[in-house]
Amino acid sequence: MFLTISTALFSAIAKAEMSSEKGNTVDDQNVAPWEPTTSSISKQIIVSQQPGYGNYATIQAAIDQGVPENNAQWIHIFNMMDQSMRRDEDDNKERIQAVAACVKGDKIAFIQCYFVSVQDALFDFSGRHYFYKYHIQSYVDFIFAILGRAWEPYSRVIFFQSNFSDVIVPSGWDAWNYAGQEYNLEYAEMGCYGPGANTSQRVKWKKQLTQQQANDLLGNGFINSDEQNQMNIVRGLVQDQARQRAVAVHVGGDKIAFIQCSFMSVQDTLFDDVGRHYFYNCRIEGYVDFIFGSGQSVYEGCHIITYLGDSDYSGPGYITAQRRNSRNDPNGFVFKHCTVEGNPKVYLGRAWGPYSRVVFFQSNLSNVIAPAGWVAWDYTGQEYKFTYGEMNCYGPGANRSERVKWEKHLTQQQANDLLGNGFINTDGWLDQLPIKLPHP
């Protein structure tokens, strides 16, 4: 099954038509109209309880009647805004201990969905599934087999860079019926934060993952090893066409946001020239200086891919060529929660200006990164002026043992200045966009 469901509320409530396998209705007002958008979707099904506005009245009916058996094409079920069935109204109804949704098929994506019950809210039964910007509300085993206690002897759950409130029990995990077999369990937390992330009182058998284990679980291959089902707006349209060494887009204005956009070239792909810019969940491909300029920009959750194609270029590759001419210039490139992969190897960046500034934060760096990491280019001897840094990155390419000696170790104040809300959003312009963003 290939299926993506967006903006839906799956709930188990008293006096509601219930299904033992999948949730039924309704939706939420926070629709992000840009997700998902893909040329690979073969069919879109609209769900609405308002007569004449949709193909089906419930999510359950859309799945049962609109998705064929052994489906091998992407089908998007979109739950329209329905002001008569709001999540806050559902919160006031009595909930029962019942499954809100049972997910059995392979290759299913849930986008901005809600799963609400008291117990067993989400039965994540079998198959590869992707949940994005979702809300799960319950109390007991509300994600079957993955939240807190072992349903099977080799139970495996990882929390990565997640915000834990003080609702988390200090011990964290429960072996349940497998006491004495805890060595078989794979429960781990990596890079989490918040009051509940204090692991000083966790069970002693909580795992400390090796770098290889982390790569296997956190990388693209965990649920997307076949890569044939990528939700990407342009992949397949230009991937096999010959590319020129030329600028794909030139960004010269202030206060510009790019959401789920793709930029493809071989050299000088994205000319991030000047102004404050925010790139979210974008795909950027190239090999030489393919993100360059004097922009004051944040790249969050972006997929950065090195790609040389059939080009006859034989020199080294560089992801960034950032130009900053004065220590007082506010510009720089900040990469947060990004993934860097591809072929052949590249440097993280080279200096286009004497005060060049680039920071990678909590990003997955594959072995495509050249060990030295950075190049001074025409500013050899002035490396002390650069601000090149990496913070809490992971993956094979995050090994800094062979990095250039002049790479910066940022102070807490420097990190706050670059990673905080003030770097590009001091006047709140991102908050005024017509869509809700997880901006810095």
Q: Which amino acid is at 367?
A: N
Residues 294-349 have pLDDT tens digits of 999 999 999 999 988 878 888 899 999 999 999 999 999 999 999 999 988 999 99
Give catalytic residue positions.
268, 289
- Segments in 301-436 forming alpha helices (H): 412-419, 422-425
- Cα angle 289, 250, 337 (rounded to 5 degrees) comes to 60
Structural domains of the chain, ranges and CATH numbers in brackets:
1-144 (no CATH), 147-231 (no CATH), 249-432 (2.160.20.10)
Name 63's Cβ contacts closer than 8 Å, sequence gap at least 6: 3, 22, 77
Name 309's Cβ contacts closer than 8 Å, sequence gap at least 6: 242, 243, 266
pLDDT of 240 strictly over 50? no
Per-residue DSSP letters for 246-301?
S-SEEE-SSSEEEES-EEE-SBS-EEE-SSEEEEES-EEEESEEEEEES-EEEEES
Percent of the chain with pLDDT over 90: 37
Residues 241-289 have pLDDT tens digits of 556 778 999 999 999 999 888 898 999 999 999 999 999 989 999 999 9
Mean pLDDT, range 430-437, rounded to an integer: 76
- Cα angle 332, 299, 357 (rounded to 5 degrees) comes to 20
Mean pLDDT, range 421-433, rounded to an integer: 88
pLDDT of 140 strictly over 70? no
- Cα angle 108, 132, 171 (rounded to 5 degrees) comes to 105
Reference 251, options 263, 242, 237; nearest CA is 263
Q: Report the distance separating Cα 84 and Cα 432, nearest Å.
A: 27
| Strand bridging mode 332-336 / 357-361 | parallel
Q: Report the distance separating Cα 18 and Cα 26, nearest Å.
A: 13
Residue for token pair 């104040």: 413
**Residue 128 backbone class (left: φ over 0; alpha: ψ -120 to 50; beta: rest):** beta
pLDDT of 228 strictly over 50? no
Q: Report the distance separating Cα 24 and Cα 18, nearest Å.
A: 7
Per-residue confidence band for 147, with pLDDT thresholds at 50, 70 and 90: very low
- Cα angle 297, 299, 302 (rounded to 5 degrees) comes to 160
Of 72-81, 150-159, 408-417, give the lowest mean pLDDT range.
Answer: 72-81
Q: So what's the pLDDT on residue 438? A: 57
Residues 7-54 have pLDDT tens digits of 444 444 322 222 223 333 233 333 333 344 444 567 788 888 777 778
Q: So what's the pLDDT on residue 36? A: 42
Q: So what's the pLDDT on residue 146? A: 37
Q: Report the distance separating Cα 277 and Cα 300, nearest Å.
A: 11
Of 31-45, 125-139, 231-245, 385-399, give the lowest mean pLDDT range.
Answer: 231-245
Per-residue confidence band for 139, with pLDDT thresholds at 50, 70 and 90: low
Q: Is the dihedral of CA 325, 331, 337, 341 positive or negative?
A: negative
Highest-confidence segment of 200-204, 217-221, 224-228: 200-204
